A and B are shown apart, each in its own frame.
Chain A
Amino acid sequence: MRFLMKTDYYQDIRIFKYRSTFFWYVALIIGCLLLPKVVDEYLVSQFSFICIYAVAAVGLMLLTGFTGQISMGHAAFFAIGSYTSAILTSHGVPFLIALPASGLVAAIVGVIIGRPILHLTGLYLAIATMGAAFIIEEILVRWESLTNGNMGFLVDPPVIFGFNFDTEASFFYLSLLVLALTLLLAKNILRSPTGRAFIAIRDSEIAAEAMGIDLPNFKTQAFAISAFFTGIAGCLYAHKIMFINPESYTIVLSIELLAIVIIGGLGSLHGAVFGSMFFIFLPQLIIISKDYLPTFIQDQTGLQPALFGLLIVLVMLFEPMGIYGKWLKTKFYFEWFPLYKKDSFKREKKYQKAERH
């Protein structure tokens, strides 16, 4: 009897609760591995960008989606990752060391930035992180001896044990591997005490404190781990586009990352990936579908950004839980097919919100 219960707990802490889920993930990975064989080089390169953005988005998701701390400065950590790896590899440091190092440097800067401002909440924190990012952007421009300033920096493709990842396919496999590892590490954190502490802080700071969660400490950890993954993504990005300068890392990138996690669905790792796909693919889809539209629409300038903007508005209007929310509902619909009720996902509206505790 006792023994039976124990095997139950093991089931509880597994990543894949059901064998079928595991099967689907294996199928997904095989599908990804076959991708470069079936689509053209340009699309493969877009898939690499999806992976890179998804790694950064996982980082931001941990901070904003799970810990509830909004950052509008993640471009800075992305930039630090890029520059760390660019500088290290240009001095002959192997990529395999430069990759974690770029995450680490970003994490350290994350702690330095996060620590003094993490008692701020909501929009105030967002603005403070934005300010910190401006400082870092400025440093990248001014510290010319290290960064080449606005002239920019040439970066080589990654080389691991003599193997050069200079084709689109090989780079895609590398990014996919990094994304898979990132997701695994993030998932492990989330199913452990630290991850639960993050979510607790998001849902109720005072209850979290009463549980013994050290708020400054855990918020700092959230900043650090978030910056770490974003830095890793920055490193991949640098080696993908092979030329970096500070202009690639402005507030626009910070906002894009924030948009990705919100569109994808705050509070889910799936959301980070879905959001990145939406963000990279949609503009492509718009370009492709343009050919099928009537000519007078085709000829409109600025059509693509406008359509993209419109789609973002529509997602926010009709699916505030993001793409992941939609995904859950669709899955639920099929699993419960004849029994599906439209209100299954409706939350009760609660009007009482206490200010005192």
Chain B
Amino acid sequence: MAFFQAQDISISFGGVQALNRVNFTVNQGEIFSIIGPNGAGKTTIFNCINRFYDLTGGVFLLEGKSISHAKPHDIADLGIARTFQNIELFKNMTVLDNLILGRHRKRRSNIFTEMLFIKPVRLQEIRSREKAEEIIDFLDLEAHRDQLVVNLPYGVQKTVELGRALAMEPTLLLLDEPTSGLNMEESEDLAFWLSDMKEELGITVIMVEHNMRFVKQTTDRVLAIDFGQAIVEGETNEVLTNPDVMRAYLGEENVCNA
């Protein structure tokens, strides 16, 4: 059975048909990319998975079960974590606190036990910190551990956001344009972490990405969409060289000239 599936998903905003009967299938443990020009509807797919928007048609299936009736906050409990195109960190908190917030879904305490800060709460805090330290190690964030996120450079903020998603111990990770705003070196690091996440943590990744070189380097399979419609889905090389995809990206004339 497919790990994650979109079946005929559609949504429109007023007159704009942002997604029109899109299908795709993501296998367990693979890195899957969604590509397409600006405004194609890529981020909208993520927002629908997160249940920020209601689909007007179709379903998402996680391990065969529909997630279309879950509440937005239940999505995290299903093991789905994400990052945002325009970084949505908790800006006035430290890096460490942001990572610990990723542990929210693991909490076993409530406001009453927390108010008294009884032993199980203390132990839970310590476990959260251990996990956060692991991620700080993994992503090389030691230098920024206790800094406020607002004061960090863009590239580091992106890394912290990835770290926060990893702290949730997800089985499915959604990354919205993870390399945008990163320099070459930072993109290299990211590619390295992605392969580690795949090999060692067994996390399945869906990412939206404009950087074709990065897609080629990291991705197993690709879905290309344009104007809310799927163009083609398949192996990375196959999709990137598909004439329809090139046309969507470059425009009609350029393809003829090329």
Contacts and interface: CB of A to CB of B under 8 A. Distances in A.
A317 interface: no
Contacts of B115: 185, 188-189
Nearest to B88: A207
Nearest to A203: B90
Given A189-B115, A212-B168, A357 B88 contact: yes
B73 A192 contact: no
B43 A192 contact: no
B76 to A, nearest CB: 3
A317 to B, nearest CB: 22
Instruction: Give the contact-size bracket for chain B.
Output: 35 or more
Interface stretch (A9-17, A52-60, A108-116, A302-310): A9-17
Contact of B97 (A6, A10, A188, A196): A196
A194 B72 CA distance: 18
Contacts of B100: 196
B129 A12 contact: yes
Given A193-B104, A206-B88, A357 B43 contact: yes
A30 interface: no
Interface of A: 5-6, 9-10, 12-13, 185, 188-189, 191-197, 199-200, 203-204, 206-215, 221, 225, 267, 347-348, 352, 354, 356-357
Given A13-B125, A357-B47, A195 B114 contact: yes
A189 B47 contact: no
Nearest to B96: A12
A194 B76 contact: no
Interface stretch (B77-85, B225-233, B242-250): B77-85
B73 A212 contact: yes
A189 B72 CA distance: 24
Contacts of A357: 43, 47, 52, 84-86, 88
Interface of B: 43, 47, 50, 52, 71-77, 81-82, 84-86, 88-93, 97, 100-105, 107, 109-111, 114-117, 121-122, 124-126, 129-130, 133, 150-151, 164, 168
Contacts of B110: 194
A195 B117 CA distance: 12
A352 B129 CA distance: 32
Given A9-B129, A193-B103, 6 more contacts: A193-B109, A199-B90, A207-B88, A212-B73, A215-B72, A357-B86
A197 B104 contact: yes
B156 to A, nearest CB: 13
27 contacts: A9-B130, A13-B125, A188-B116, A191-B117, A192-B121, A193-B104, A193-B124, A194-B111, A195-B114, A199-B93, A203-B89, A203-B90, A206-B84, A206-B88, A209-B72, A210-B72, A210-B81, A211-B101, A211-B102, A211-B105, A212-B74, A212-B105, A213-B104, A352-B86, A354-B86, A357-B52, A357-B85
B43 A356 contact: yes
Contacts of A352: 86
Contacts of A189: 111, 114-115
A352 B104 CA distance: 28
A212 B90 contact: no
Contact of B89 (A5, A185, A204): A204
Nearest to B113: A192
A206 B164 CA distance: 14
Given A206-B88, A210-B75, A354-B86, A192 B125 contact: yes
Contacts of B168: 211-212
Contacts of A356: 43, 85-86
A206 B73 contact: no
Contacts of B126: 6, 9-10, 13
B207 to A, nearest CB: 16
B111 A347 contact: no
Nearest to B146: A12
Contacts of A193: 103-104, 107, 109, 114, 124
A187 B130 CA distance: 22
Contacts of B164: 211
- Closest 10 interchain pairs by CB? A212-B76, A192-B114, A354-B86, A212-B105, A207-B88, A203-B90, A193-B107, A188-B117, A9-B126, A214-B73
A120 B110 CA distance: 25
A79 B178 CA distance: 51
Nearest to B114: A192
A218 to B, nearest CB: 9
A209 B76 CA distance: 8
Contact of A211 (B76, B111, B130, B151): B76
B125 A191 contact: yes
B91 A207 contact: no
Contacts of B107: 193
A225 B150 CA distance: 28
B97 A347 contact: no
Select the residue from A6, A210, A211, A213 with max chain B CB neighbours within 10 A.
A210
A279 B150 CA distance: 31
A208 B90 CA distance: 9
Contacts of B121: 192
A212 B74 CA distance: 6
